[in-house]
């Protein structure tokens, strides 16, 4: 049970990190587009 919970936490953390990376790059692109416009 505890190992399962730990694995879930690790997966969740990894997904959050992934979303953060996608989010920041997306935000950067939006800012770049706004700067160009």
Domain that holds residue 12: 1-37
Lookup: tokens for 14: 């990894």
| pTM metric for this prediction | 0.48
The number of distinct structural domains making up the chain is: 1
Give residue-wise pLDDT tens across range 1-36: 578 888 888 888 888 888 888 778 887 888 878 887
Residue 1's pLDDT is: 58
Residue 10's pLDDT is: 82
Among the residues of the chain, which ranges form H helices? 2-36
């Amino acid at each position: 049970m505890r190992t399962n919970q730990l694995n879930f936490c690790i997966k969740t953390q990894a997904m959050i990190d992934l979303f953060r990376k996608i989010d920041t790059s997306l935000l950067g692109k939006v800012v770049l587009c706004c700067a160009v416009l």
